[in-house]
Amino acid sequence: MRILTVVYTLIALALLLSFPEPASAHLVSTRFGELYSGLIHPLTALQHLVPWLGLGLLGGLLGNRTSRWVLLTFPLSAGAGALLAGGLPATAAIDHVNLFSFIVLGLLVALSVRLNRPTFLGLTVIFGLSHGFANGTPDLSGVPLLLYAVGVLLAAYVLIAIATAVTQLVSQRAAWGTIAIRAAGSWIVAIGLVFGGYSLTAGV
Amino acid sequence: MKPAAWIPAWIPAIAVAALAWAAPAAAHDTPIALLTLKETQPGTFVERWTYSSSLNIAAPTPVYPEHCVAEAPRVVCGELGLTGDFSFEKLGERYSAAVVRLMPLEGPKRSYTFTAAQPVITLTASGILPLSHIVAAYIPLGFEHIMLGIDHLLFVLGLMLLVSSPWMLVKTITAFTIAHSITLGLATFGVIGVPEGAVNALIALSIVILAVEVLKLRRGRAGWSATYPWVVAFGFGLLHGLGFASALTGIGLSQANLPAALLFFNIGVELGQLAFVAVVLAVAWSHRQLRAELPRWTETVAVYGTGTLATVWFYDRFGAIVAPLVT
């Protein structure tokens, strides 16, 4: 926990220091500001929302010692991915990785695979970066992009925290819990296959 | 009374403090562009823009009904008058809302509010607005106002840290809601009027006071504010209601639309407030469930940070009031 404390404090410090006063205009001069745009975008897009829920389900099945690290790795990776998107050209490979995340995460949940911590955290970083990148936009640069990326980070943090905790509660307290969660995993695979098929035939 | 450990302060405070740092002293500015259309001859109008945004950014572009010919500042609509579909381009990107105040040669003045959720309004000769328009325009406006109002959110967060049980939280948030609804209504109907600058400065001060009370509570010195947090919520809620009113009073709504607009604006504010409270509670619960909690000193730092930020806002806003008097 001490490590988490230090890292969280550093995050808070970094966030505070990364918002110089001139950046403030962007938050109030736009409708919800870039921060709110970043916050809302992944939560209103099926291609992000479903795999993120899948990651939360997987984390919740793995127990406290592993799952709580996802609160750190996934949001930071998603935020970093959104920042990278501002400086790098868009590539179809990212969309393919995101489609792949449906299948991988859904299967891992459906089969209730007990991943070890490094593998699980590795997946959270890879998919965090890819989904964050897909959420990013090259139209923003400088501080607005940073605000947008922080919004993506916050969305990832809130969604993963709640999904992981709810999954853990359900799997521990209800006899049918794990079965229901594994069934949800199979649904994520099915959604991924439908969505992937549609996207690939549409020329993603 | 034990400190309010059931909501770890650092969870929401880190996020909100980051947001708060990003927002300027005039944090709860809801930028609204006002377009006045005065009929000078039958079917001919003259445009006049007023920007109520403190940032004074360029106005959104109006899209008049097809039969109207716009050559700024004149708009010629002919015999049909200003009727039909009226909209604004890219509304929501720079301005929260645009208000069209129509001053016909005959008949009462009318106001129409456009938002990103309600970008097109079909104007009629009678000027009567359907209830659906008011609902679609003012609920998002109220929701947006509190979401952009980081200082309001910080105050609600402070209240959450002050209470020691879910039931007390319900009572406290209810007291805040009732109080700000009272002053929001009184200010919108023009019964009371308070200078916006002074209200904003006092709102910042209310956060400072609340942060001090939270710190005292966490040191085991529970004062009357921790024992009766709903009294604090009600008292300062009256003040925050005046702040909410600033978004409505600048619009210049017609008396006919005012009651419904006020009602749905307030509903939007409440929905935003409840959404914020729900997210904070959900995240706090998640951390407890996952046993991902931090030492107490991090919580203290978060509360100090929030109080410091609000103090800076207070001096900034107070300075904005005093500066013109001194120079």
pLDDT tens figures, A11-33: 454 444 444 333 332 333 344 46
Strand partners for B120:
B87
- Confidence (pLDDT) at A143: 57
- Confidence (pLDDT) at A77: 95
Q: In chain B, what are the helix, strand and coil shares in percent, each to the nearest 5?
A: 55, 15, 30
Mean pLDDT of chain A: 80
DSSP B130: P
Containing structural domain, residue B187: 10-28+149-326
Residue B227 lies in a domain: yes
Percent residues over pLDDT 70 in chain A: 79
- Alpha helices, DSSP H, located in A18-142: 24-29, 33-40, 46-61, 64-67, 70-87, 92-110, 117-135
CB-based contact (8 Å) between B286 and chain A? yes
Residues of chain A found within 8 Å of residue B302, distances taken between Cβ atoms: 12
Higher confidence at residue A26 or residue B148?
Answer: B148
> Nearest-CA residue of chain B relative to A154?
B15
pLDDT tens figures, B158-172: 888 888 888 888 899
What sign for the dihedral angle of Cα B294, B299, B300, B302? positive
B19, B290, B305 member nearest A164 (Cβ): B290
Confidence of residue B299 (pLDDT cuts 50, 70, 90): confident
Contact between B148 and A150 using a beta-carbon 8 Å cutoff: no
Which residues touch B95 (CB under 8 Å, ≥6 apart)?
Answer: A31, B31, B32, B33, B53, B57, B59, B60
Q: Are residues B97 and B24 in the same domain?
A: no
> Nearest-CA residue of chain A relative to B55?
A29
DSSP B50-94: EE--TT-PPPPEEE--TT-EEETTEEE-GGG-S-EEEEEETTTTS
C-alpha to C-alpha distance for A53 and A191, rounded to whole angstroms? 12
Q: Are residues B16 and B40 in the same domain?
A: no
> Nearest-CA residue of chain A relative to B116?
A31
Closest chain B C-alpha to A155 CA, distance in angstroms:
11
Looking at the predicted structure, is the pLDDT value of residue B49 above 50? Answer: yes
pLDDT tens figures, B25-42: 444 455 677 888 888 888
- Confidence (pLDDT) at B3: 38
DSSP B164: S
Q: Are residues B223 and B313 in the same domain?
A: yes
Q: Are residues B40 and B120 in the same domain?
A: yes
CB-based contact (8 Å) between A168 and chain B? yes
Which residues touch A15 (CB under 8 Å, ≥6 apart)?
Answer: A150, B14, B17, B18, B21
CB-based contact (8 Å) between B294 and chain A? yes
Higher confidence at residue B15 or residue B199?
Answer: B199
Contact between B298 and A11 using a beta-carbon 8 Å cutoff: no
Closest chain A C-alpha to B141 CA, distance in angstroms:
10
Contact A141, A108 (CB under 8 A): no
C-alpha to C-alpha distance for A94 and B299, rounded to whole angstroms? 38
Write down how long chain B is: 327
- pTM assigned to the model: 0.75
Residue B171 lies in a domain: yes
Looking at the predicted structure, is the pLDDT value of residue B202 above 60? Answer: yes
CB-based contact (8 Å) between A110 and chain B? no
Among the ranges A3-7, A196-200, B236-240, which has the highest mean pLDDT value? B236-240
- Confidence (pLDDT) at B16: 55
Q: What is the mean pLDDT of residues B291-320?
A: 84
Other beta carbons within 10 angstroms of residue B256's beta carbon come to: 14
Interface of A with B in 37-66 (CB under 8 A): 64
C-alpha to C-alpha distance for B103 and A201, rounded to whole angstroms? 54
- Confidence (pLDDT) at A38: 84
- The residue out of B97, B128, B159 marking a domain boundary is B128
A1, A150, A162 member nearest B286 (Cβ): A162
Count of domains in chain B? 2
Amino acid identity of B51? Y
Residues of chain A found within 8 Å of residue B144, distances taken between Cβ atoms: 31-32
C-alpha to C-alpha distance for B8 and B10, rounded to whole angstroms? 6
Q: What is the mean pLDDT of residues A82-106?
A: 87
* E strand residue ranges, chain B: 32-41, 44-51, 61-63, 69-71, 74-76, 84-89, 97-103, 110-115, 120-123
- Confidence (pLDDT) at A174: 81
C-alpha to C-alpha distance for A18 and B125, rounded to whole angstroms? 52
CB-based contact (8 Å) between B92 and chain A? yes
Contact between A165 and B24 using a beta-carbon 8 Å cutoff: no
C-alpha to C-alpha distance for B53 and B1, rounded to whole angstroms? 45
Q: What is the ipTM of this complex?
A: 0.78
pLDDT tens figures, A142-164: 556 887 888 899 999 999 999 99
B24, B92, B293 member nearest A31 (Cβ): B92
Residues of chain B found within 8 Å of residue A71, distances taken between Cβ atoms: 287, 290, 292
Q: Are residues B105 and B171 in the same domain?
A: no
- Confidence (pLDDT) at A104: 93
Neighbour-count burial of B106, counting CB atoms closer than 10 A to its CB (0-12 exposed, 13-18 middle, 19+ buried) = exposed
Residues of chain A found within 8 Å of residue B141, distances taken between Cβ atoms: none
Write down how long chain A is: 204
Q: Are residues B153 and B69 in the same domain?
A: no
Residues of chain B found within 8 Å of residue A36, distances taken between Cβ atoms: 147
Confidence of residue A139 (pLDDT cuts 50, 70, 90): low
Give the residue extent of every domain in chain A.
Answer: 44-201
> Which of B21, B90, B143, B279 to mutate to probe the A interface, most A CBs <10 Å?
B21
Contact between A64 and B291 using a beta-carbon 8 Å cutoff: yes
Distance of CA A127 to the CA centre of its chain: 7
> Nearest-CA residue of chain A relative to B287?
A161
Neighbour-count burial of A75, counting CB atoms closer than 10 A to its CB (0-12 exposed, 13-18 middle, 19+ buried) = buried
- Confidence (pLDDT) at A17: 42
- Confidence (pLDDT) at A21: 35
Closest chain B C-alpha to A96 CA, distance in angstroms:
31
- Confidence (pLDDT) at B71: 82
Higher confidence at residue B312 or residue A34?
Answer: B312
> Which of B289, B301, B304, B316 to mutate to probe the A interface, most A CBs <10 Å?
B289
- Confidence (pLDDT) at B309: 85
Looking at the predicted structure, is the pLDDT value of residue B93 above 70? Answer: no
Confidence of residue B15 (pLDDT cuts 50, 70, 90): low
pLDDT tens figures, B97-127: 788 888 888 877 777 878 776 777 777 777 6
Q: What is the mean pLDDT of residues B67-96?
A: 80
Looking at the predicted structure, is the pLDDT value of residue B150 above 50? Answer: yes
Closest chain B C-alpha to A41 CA, distance in angstroms:
15
CB-based contact (8 Å) between A19 and chain B? yes
- Confidence (pLDDT) at B27: 42
Of the listed ranges A31-40, A182-191, B295-304, B305-314, the least confidently predicted one is A31-40
> Nearest-CA residue of chain A relative to B30?
A28
CB-based contact (8 Å) between B153 and chain A? no
Contact between A31 and B293 using a beta-carbon 8 Å cutoff: no
- Confidence (pLDDT) at A57: 94
Contact B77, B101 (CB under 8 A): no
C-alpha to C-alpha distance for B6 and A50, rounded to whole angstroms? 30
- Confidence (pLDDT) at B17: 54
Strand partners for B33:
B51, B98
CB-based contact (8 Å) between A153 and chain B? no
Residues of chain A found within 8 Å of residue B53, distances taken between Cβ atoms: 29
- Confidence (pLDDT) at A49: 92
* E strand residue ranges, B206-253: none
Of the listed ranges A187-196, B66-75, B200-209, B272-281, the least confidently predicted one is B66-75
Residues of chain B found within 8 Å of residue A5, distances taken between Cβ atoms: 294-295, 298
Contact B284, B12 (CB under 8 A): yes
Residues of chain A found within 8 Å of residue B95, distances taken between Cβ atoms: 31
